[in-house]
Amino acid sequence: MLKKLALAGVVSLMGTTAWSACAFENTVEVKSLSAGFEAWKAVTDAMAECGNVQAELDQEFRTKQPAAFEANPSLYHIGGVSNGTVTPLLNSGTIRPLDDLVAKYGGHLQPNQLIKIDGKVMAVAMMVNTQHLMYREDILSDLDIAVPTTWDEVYAAADKIKAAGVVDYPLGATMKSGWNLAQEFVNMYPGFGGALFNDDNTAAVNNDAGVKALETMKAGMPYMDPEVLVSDSTYVQQQFQQGKIAMANLWASRGGAMDDEAESTVVGKVKMAAAPLAMEGGAPATTLWWDGIVIAKNITDEEADAAFRVAMEGMDEEMVKANNDAAIWLVKGFQPGPLSEGAIATATASPAAPAYPSTSRMGLMHTVLGNEIPAFLTGDRDAAATLVAIEEAYTTSAKEAGVLK
Amino acid sequence: MKFKTFATFVGPSVVMMILFIALPLISVFFESFKVTQPIMQQVEVETCTPGFTGQTCVTSVKTIPVIGDDGKVETVTQWQGLESYRSVLQMEKVWAAIGSGNWSDILQIDFWKALRFTMMFTLLTLPLVIGVGLLIALTVNNAAKSFKGPVIFISLLPFIITPVIGSLSIYWLFVGDGILTAMMERWTGTNISMFAQAWTIELLMYFYRVWHVAPFAFVIFYAGLQSVNMDTLESAVIDGASRLQRLRHVIIPHLMPLIVFIALIHLMDCYRVFEEIVGFRSQAHVISLQWLTYDFLVPDDAGNRAVSRASASAMLTMIGIVLLLIWPLRRTWKEHRGGAH
């Protein structure tokens, strides 16, 4: 979900024979492929303590994983996935059910960590993630602004901050055209009560909620950096760290970086709140995500056994205690701190924000949204025409992918 | 040369060209008329995902691929004629736009938007590259001998940089409060955002490409300048020809075959413009044909990729290059025949 430029992908290989903090000595070679953000680093480091573990952390993992797991034997034993990227693995049947392994080695797991598809455990989640409101508490209290709870309030607050001129831009946003921008729409549109699809898999965005979602996204642009269409999560994180913006609807997994004294000039000043509502009485305009592990199908049972044990070591209480603020962990032992307040408020809101609806058709829709919405934001096309273009482009893609007849 | 010697020399590269250029091209050609789809089924699936207080289980009807007995997704491949070309070109929308007089609507279609930029990029940078290359070559040629070495070295540097790295550097220099933007802001006293609108991005792209490729033209021209007929040049001086006249009537005709050669290479390279789009993250404002093909090919989160449309768009790109190259190729061919004895 933290898609970066292909070239900036971080690959780090760690082969280690030390098994100091691991409960057992692993003798089977285990390889893992996951995203490269902080939480994965913590988990794979803990896995490596068991020995014979090679962890690859790569932000472009999602393009590699489906093909790598399809090979026989699979190129990796453990896959780090999110609810978005698990879909191709589930669809092609390249990951194995984990019920037996959970019964054998997963006694310490919390029941809500088990991701069940049709009753079978297919993945074990370790953390949740969501986009929620981050704000500079000092600026808001100086200007006597209450913490915004709806997008209208966010823009009203942004107006005051702009007038006060205390930061370069009142708002930051992950609106880089492509995946990030599409995600903003996927957050906003259900917030207005919209459903993306009809039952027959055809697109259903061309409606009132669609227009409102687009208009609300555009309404924020006067308060943002004019170059917002190139800004991704890392860019927004840096804008926060350098004190250039005052508010943003940003990933919870980026929260820890705000208090990183080596990078941040605003340590302790950024607070988290629930994702703003798009309309009164609606759900927070965001989606819920989880990150976790899967085990490849095309490996021997022995290897799967070892891989699962190693993964469990990586996701144990000890690791969470050492890295409490790296993520919003689902693992036992997690102490929710101030950094996780916003995410918890978002997830426990009533009505709660929906989980990201990952399916084949959603993948197609996401790409189409990312390609078609920029023309609206740059003013080349109005909202109605954009929604028509989205539906047309989706129909073309869905027909080619076999989702639509 | 004996045929056998000739064959031994050329053989390896012919084999490589067949293997890595001809065969893939043929397969892309066929791929563009086919579509391979997984067989989909509608299944009711219960998915349980974690919340903070417990699990949320949702039962929904999902469209998922059928997995065969061999454990692989079952697919079906069909010939579909020109369907992929149709969905890339969207001619019915183009005709509608022309019919209603709203020409700008054509540029809302990805392919035509990409073609507009690709053509403009190719044709605008061509004269600039040749002009700047020639200028550097003439300057270096007239420079004092002791300077020549270092000057040649420095002028060649931009060409050595990997295009992706070069475009990323430009992006970082100009994005947000990049060093150069900050400098321009100080001079002008206004807030400058180079990546906020299409024209500034395009300007940076032209600048970057000329900066990057001009050294190539320079090296070729510089070599050509060494073989200018000094007698002709001297007689031109005696006849009272000015510097400009000598350039126009002696040097440029002498360099003409090289100019055509550079035009040939540049058209081919430029039509495949890609690095600038990715490096500058300009997708919201500017896209190119090669980027379009790439975008079709990149799998989304659910693993879908539009191989058929990517193949069609690749074939269209190739047709475009061939059309562009007809003029310089014919010229070279004529010269070649004229020069052969």
This model of the complex carries an ipTM of 0.86
Is B49 or B260 the better-scoring residue by pLDDT? B260
B49 pLDDT above the threshold of 70:
yes
Helix or strand run (H / E) with residue A396: helix A383-401
Q: Which chain A residues touch B49 with a CB distance below 8 Å?
A: 83, 115, 125, 288, 290, 355
Contact (CB, 8 A) for A129 and A82: yes
Q: Averaged over A49-65, what is the pLDDT? A: 89
As beta bridge partners, residue B65 has: B40
DSSP secondary structure of A321-338 = HHTGGGSEE-STT----G
Taking an 8 Å cut-off on Cβ atoms, the answer to whether A362 and B55 are in contact is no
CA-based nearest distance B58→chain A, Å? 10
Provide the pLDDT confidence category of residue A174 given band limits of 50, 70 and 90: very high
Q: How many CA atoms lie within 13 A of A120 on its CB side?
A: 11
Can you tell me the distance from the alpha carbon of B165 to that of A27, in angstroms, rounded to the nearest whole number?
42
Q: How many CA atoms lie within 13 A of B134 on its CB side?
A: 18
Taking an 8 Å cut-off on Cβ atoms, the answer to whether A363 and B302 are in contact is yes
Strand locations in A151-230, DSSP E? Answer: 169-172
Bond into B299 cis (ω within 30):
no
Could you tell me which CATH number the domain at B103-340 has?
1.10.3720.10
B244 pLDDT above the threshold of 90:
no
Encode pLDDT of B129-142 as tens digits: 999 999 999 988 88
Q: Which chain B residues touch A367 with a CB distance below 8 Å?
A: 300, 304
A100, two tokens: 């037996």
As beta bridge partners, residue A172 has: A248
CA pseudo-torsion sign B305, B307, B308, B311? positive
Angle at B54 between CA B51 and CA B55, to 5 degrees: 70
- Cα A69 to the chain's mean position, in Å? 22
Taking an 8 Å cut-off on Cβ atoms, the answer to whether B37 and A400 are in contact is yes
Give me the residue label for tokens 């391979």: B36
pLDDT of residue A20: 53
Position A304: which residue type? Answer: A
CA distances from A330 to A81, A108, A126, A283, A291 (A): 15, 12, 5, 22, 10
Burial status of residue B136 (CB atoms within 10 A of its CB: 0-12, 13-18, 19 or more): buried
Q: Averaged over B226-250, what is the pLDDT? A: 87
Taking an 8 Å cut-off on Cβ atoms, the answer to whether A5 and B281 are in contact is yes
Contacts of A161 (CB under 8 A, 6+ apart): A139, A143, A145, A167, A170, A223, A246, A247
SS3 assignment, position B72: coil
Q: What percent of chain A has pLDDT over 70?
A: 95
Encode pLDDT of A184-208 as tens digits: 999 999 999 999 999 899 999 999 9
CA distances from B303 to A240, A401, B307 (A): 33, 10, 12
Can you tell me the distance from the alpha carbon of B27 to that of B308, in angstroms, rounded to the nearest whole number?
11
pLDDT of residue A17: 40
CA distances from B72 to A116, A168, A354, B38, B181 (A): 22, 53, 31, 10, 52
Can you tell me the distance from the alpha carbon of B10 to that of B23, in angstroms, rounded to the nearest whole number?
18
Cα end-to-end span (Å), chain A: 30
CA-based nearest distance B41→chain A, Å? 9
Give me the residue label for tokens 């307040």: A341
A326 pLDDT above the threshold of 90:
no
Can you tell me the distance from the alpha carbon of A59 to that of A253, in angstroms, rounded to the nearest whole number?
14
Provide the pLDDT confidence category of residue B71 given band limits of 50, 70 and 90: confident
B191, two tokens: 């807030």
Interface of B with A in 151-180 (CB under 8 A): 164, 168, 175-176
Helix or strand run (H / E) with residue B88: helix B83-89
Position B92: which residue type? Answer: E
Contact (CB, 8 A) for A103 and A120: no
Provide the pLDDT confidence category of residue B339 given band limits of 50, 70 and 90: low
- Widest CA span in chain B: 96
Suggest the residue from B109, B172, B304 to mutate for an interface test with chain A (most A CBs closer than 10 A).
B304
Encode pLDDT of A222-238 as tens digits: 999 999 999 989 899 99
Q: Averaged over A96-101, what is the pLDDT? A: 94
Q: Are strands B34-38 and A245-251 parallel, antiparallel or unpaired?
A: unpaired
Can you tell me the distance from the alpha carbon of A133 to that of B331, in angstroms, rounded to the nearest whole number?
63
Can you tell me the distance from the alpha carbon of A306 to that of A77, in angstroms, rounded to the nearest whole number?
9
- Cα A362 to the chain's mean position, in Å? 15
Suggest the residue from A1, A120, A127, A230 to mutate for an interface test with chain B (most B CBs closer than 10 A).
A230
A19 pLDDT above the threshold of 60:
no
What is the DSSP code (8-state) at residue A368? H
Can you tell me the distance from the alpha carbon of A352 to that of B52, in angstroms, rounded to the nearest whole number?
11
CA distances from B167 to A186, B59, B133 (A): 31, 47, 20
Suggest the residue from A89, A115, A227 to mutate for an interface test with chain B (most B CBs closer than 10 A).
A227
A16 pLDDT above the threshold of 70:
no
Domain boundaries along the sequence of chain B = 103-340
Contact (CB, 8 A) for A26 and A3: no
- Cα B24 to the chain's mean position, in Å? 19
As beta bridge partners, residue A238 has: none
Q: Where are the alpha helices (DSSP H) in A12-113?
A: 38-48, 61-70, 86-92, 99-105
Can you tell me the distance from the alpha carbon of B341 to that of B336, in angstroms, rounded to the nearest whole number?
10
A14 pLDDT above the threshold of 70:
no
pLDDT of residue B116: 94
Can you tell me the distance from the alpha carbon of B258 to that of B264, in angstroms, rounded to the nearest whole number?
10
Q: Which chain A residues touch B194 with a CB distance below 8 Å?
A: 227
B301: contact with A, CB 8 A cutoff: yes
DSSP secondary structure of B250-288 = IIHHHHHHHHHHHHHHHHHHHHT--HHHHHHTGGGT---
B27, two tokens: 């397969």
Helix or strand run (H / E) with residue B28: helix B23-31
Contact (CB, 8 A) for B28 and A391: no
Contact (CB, 8 A) for A42 and A8: no
Backbone φ and ψ of A104, nearest 5°:
-80, -50
CA distances from A187 to A26, A183, A196, B296 (A): 42, 6, 11, 24
A90 pLDDT above the threshold of 60:
yes
Can you tell me the distance from the alpha carbon of A233 to that of A257, in angstroms, rounded to the nearest whole number?
12
Q: Which of A84, A176, A181 sits opposite B301 (nearest CB)?
A: A84
Domains and CATH numbers, chain A: 12-128+288-335 (3.40.190.10)
Helix or strand run (H / E) with residue A123: strand A120-136
What is the DSSP code (8-state) at residue A174? -
B69: contact with A, CB 8 A cutoff: no
Is A336 or A9 the better-scoring residue by pLDDT? A336
Can you tell me the distance from the alpha carbon of A86 to that of A65, in angstroms, rounded to the nearest whole number?
9
